[in-house]
Chains A and B, each alone.
Chain A
Amino acid sequence: MTQVVAPAAERVQRPPLRKVRYNRREALAGYLFISPWIVGFLVFTAGAMIASLVISFSSYNLATNTARPAGVDNYTGLLEDPRVATALGNTLFYALLAVPLEIAFALFLASLLANVGRGAGVFRTLFYLPRMTPVVATAAVFFLLLNGNTGAVNDFLAVFGIEGPQWLVDPAWIKPSIVLMQLWAVSGTMVIFLAALKNVPRELYEVASLDGAGRFRQFWSITLPMISGAMFFNVIVLTIAAFQVFDQAYLLFWRDQTNASPEASLFYAVYLFQKAFRQFDFGFAAAMAWLLFVIILLVTLVQTTFGNRFVYYEGDRS
């Protein structure tokens, strides 16, 4: 990404707090160019957010075509519906399991690639292929690979004498199953780590090596700090994605009425979708959406506050 810095001379000449005079033609043209976004923002973002808030305070059911003000009923309803708590618990558990594993696995793969000089490009491409597979196809394939009796995953485990679980049937193993599918397609995260690793100056390792630092010490004291920006970014993006996991859970458990583990596979986004577009209880679903928004906002805020103490930005040395 190229960054343009205003020429220093211009900056010096600018008098402080002068009233700006815009070229009227230029300003008008600017507004015309960004007008698609303005219209989209007003209708599909700002307008939609306000409407969503209003709907969340009303009893709006499209199936029966009724709407009336409902005060905070939907929000108290969130507390009274045990399935909301179940869905939230499942989603939190999944996020806590998925994010660290995805980060560790992606970083491990990226380190392998970063250490291999020639041939790395080929492996990078091979590792990236799962990312190109449509999620529906991934779910369809893993439906069989994770079969508890004849699936390839358990066959593989059996080689090491491990008896694999009934992945998609046993309630305890449903969330790990989805994590496994995510790990297979972890290469987006890996590529970002790889780019960061390639930017760590080699001299640092040489100096550390001369000072007698071992591989582990080098990783801990040089690599991790130097890639902390990418780490921070990946953690935040993966967390936000984990909170919204939908496709695999829907395809494997919720597309028809044969779900064997309705409690263990109920993720927040799935329940929200069911409330909104299967039961058309828009008021309740809108309240669910706002709760999700607040949770994601809080988690991101905590991560940012916590993360900023550890993230090393190269531009920040002054």
Chain B
Amino acid sequence: MTTVGAPRPAATAQAAPVALAGATVARPAAPEPPRGPRRPAVRVLLWVLLIAFAAMFLYPFVWLLSASLKGRGQVFDNALWPDSPRWDNYVTVWSELPLVHWMVNSVAIALLAAVLVAVSSSLVAFGFAYFRFPLRGLLFGLVLATMMLPGAVTMIPVYLVWKELGALGTWIPLFGANLFGSAFYIFLQRQFFLGLPRELFEAARIDGASYWSMFWRIAMPLSVPSFVIVLLFEFQASWNNLQAALIYLNAGSPEDFTAPLGIAYAMTKYSPTAGGQGDYQYVMVASLLVTLPMLALFAFGQRYFIEGVATTGRKG
């Protein structure tokens, strides 16, 4: 019955940088009048430019595929197609690099990281969205403030925490902190929960639902779209995370590496500067294989990725 501390979206929207980008799409899309310049010459130029840029953006992929099939020596020249495709590069990489280990490690870590952060952030977001409690506004302000903090500031103490817990050299530091939610995702999920009609929860309450079942059986099933965005964003972030792997796994055996650390390892191993000509085509094979899961993920969730970026500002 009290409204103190009730959500003041306007104020928080100003405080949060993500909402700035969000604000630009807040307006419901009106039926679009036909766009595009009327003059044919301009339209042709537009299409030429679009196709040229599409080719430019796709070229490195084509080149990556081609380079992964080249032989030693040819990999540095810029022929778009290898003289004779060397499919055995893939066999060599398979036997020389613990690539399967890297992929399995990365998938396991990224899944754990994504699921943990999505569930914990949803819990916290529901706490901030639904319940009224003292200091709520201040605490949520702190959540937003932590988004501004560069990771470098907390990097060393966090390392010491994991060291004290005996987790160095294990995967735990790569996802452990996700158990406690993450500011950006808390913000995202809270915005979603605030959009749900409050009567829904009041009615469930009257029917005797517990707070937990309100969260788990009503709020969570309804938040699937934003939950998926959190899962995808975090999976990608985790898949990309080189620095944490360098800090926590670098000293271990290559079998324990993640995919990004593995590529860095392969770049050193096959580097032309390290041993004459180098076998850089193997690096290309590994890079290609490490990219494929992300492309598959994009094929499955491209709407979530692109709209997620458009509405929330998180650039994946």
Contact = CB atoms under 8 A, between A and B. Distances in A.
Interface of A: 1-6, 10-11, 14, 18, 20-23, 26-34, 36-41, 43-45, 47-49, 51-52, 55, 109, 112-117, 119, 123-138, 140-145, 147, 150-152, 155, 184, 188-189, 191-192, 194-196, 198-199, 202, 227, 229-230, 232-234, 236-237, 240, 243-244, 246-247, 250-251, 255-256, 258, 269, 272-273, 276-277, 282, 285-286, 288-290, 292-293, 296-297, 300, 313-315
Contacts of B151: 244
Contacts of A127: 53-54, 57
Contact of A313 (B23, B53, B146, B247): B23
Contact of B268 (A3, A255, A269): A255
Contact of B315 (A21, A142, A188): A188
A272 B215 contact: no
A188 B316 contact: yes
Given A3-B9, A132-B298, A192 B313 contact: yes
Interface string B296-311: 0110001001100111
Contacts, number: 355
Interface of B: 2-10, 13, 17-27, 29, 32-37, 46-47, 49-50, 53-54, 57-61, 63-64, 67, 75-78, 120, 123-124, 126-128, 130-134, 136, 139, 142-143, 146, 148-161, 177, 179-181, 186, 191-192, 194-195, 211, 215, 236, 239-240, 242-243, 246-247, 259-260, 263-264, 267-268, 271, 273-274, 280, 283-284, 287-288, 290-291, 294-295, 297-298, 302, 305-306, 309-313, 315-316
A236 B313 CA distance: 11
Mostly helix, strand, loop or mixed at chain B's interface?
helix
Given A26-B131, A184-B60, 12 more contacts: A6-B7, A18-B4, A26-B133, A36-B124, A128-B298, A131-B316, A138-B60, A152-B59, A195-B25, A195-B311, A198-B29, A230-B24
B12 to A, nearest CB: 9
B315 A247 contact: no
Most A Cβ at <10 Å: residue of B22, B136, B306: B306
Given A20-B5, A33-B131, A45 B154 contact: yes
Contacts of B29: 198
A256 B146 CA distance: 34
A134 B61 CA distance: 12
B143 A37 contact: yes
Contacts of B120: 36-37
B139 to A, nearest CB: 7
B150 A244 contact: yes
B131 A3 contact: no
A111 B259 CA distance: 36
A64 to B, nearest CB: 15
29 contacts: A1-B23, A1-B25, A1-B191, A2-B194, A4-B194, A14-B3, A20-B2, A21-B2, A22-B134, A37-B120, A51-B157, A129-B57, A132-B316, A134-B240, A135-B240, A136-B240, A150-B77, A151-B78, A152-B78, A188-B315, A192-B24, A192-B309, A229-B24, A230-B20, A247-B242, A250-B242, A251-B263, A286-B156, A289-B155
A215 to B, nearest CB: 9
B156 A136 contact: no
Given A10-B3, A47-B157, A150-B77, A3 B26 contact: yes
A120 to B, nearest CB: 9
Most A Cβ at <10 Å: residue of B2, B21, B29, B195: B21
Contact of B247 (A2, A152, A155, A277): A277
